[in-house]
Amino acid sequence: MLGFYNFSVVVTYIGLASAVFGMTQACNGNHKVAIVCLILCGVCDMFDGKIARAMKRSEDAQKFGIQIDSLCDLVCFGVFPAILGYSFGADGVFGNICLVVYVLGAVIRLAFFNVMEEKRQKETNECRTEYQGLPVTSAAVIFPLIFLLSENDKVSFCTIWEITMLFVSFLFILDFKVKKPDKAAICIFLILAIIVTGRILFLL
């Protein structure tokens, strides 16, 4: 079979499968299930890189990992939130502009990251300590919180989602430094993910 297969790649694929399933649920109106799927995408992305760095891989396997991770991130944190937005009613001129700009921002951010990460790995073996621009994976935190805090306000919820997509898309491509999450931040995200998931499932 084509490709390079190890446990880190499998975790990445689980995140992708969750995104695809989540998009089908969003289209069917099962928004709470879709949001939980987005959170799961974030959890998978959090660990696939750590697992990959702990493994001994060939140069080709490392390059494959970078490409497959970014491609899956585009689906999970670029296309998936846009599909969610559309399923919430993001339509019309403004809504479609927000959808297009958001996905375009994610594409530019990920393509730039690929180029710079490959260059960085040729220059050093040290782990990355900061990012340029807002990582697209932040969508796994931002949009579930928006959903949880605003979903009851049916009148303005779609508008809030659209504006959030527009704002986040610009943060993807703005040149500013974002510190890479440390162990404490990861623990906070996991606790937050459990709380938000439990709250959403409780509302089902």
b/e for 142-160, b at 16 or more Cβ within 10 A? bbbebbbebbeeeeebbbb
Tens digit of pLDDT for each residue in 108-163?
999 998 887 777 767 666 666 778 889 999 999 999 989 888 766 665 888 999 99
Tell me what pLDDT residue 105 has: 96
Report DSSP letters for 24-58, one per residue.
HHHHTT-HHHHHHHHHHHHHHHHHHHHHHHHS---
**Beta carbons within 8 Å of 102's beta carbon, 6+ residues apart:** 78, 81, 82, 85, 165, 166, 168, 169
CATH classification code of 7-202: 1.20.120
Mean pLDDT value of segment 52-71:
77
Tell me what pLDDT residue 28 has: 95
Cβ neighbours of 64 (radius 10 Å): 18
Tens digit of pLDDT for each residue in 20-58?
999 999 999 999 999 999 999 999 988 877 776 666 777
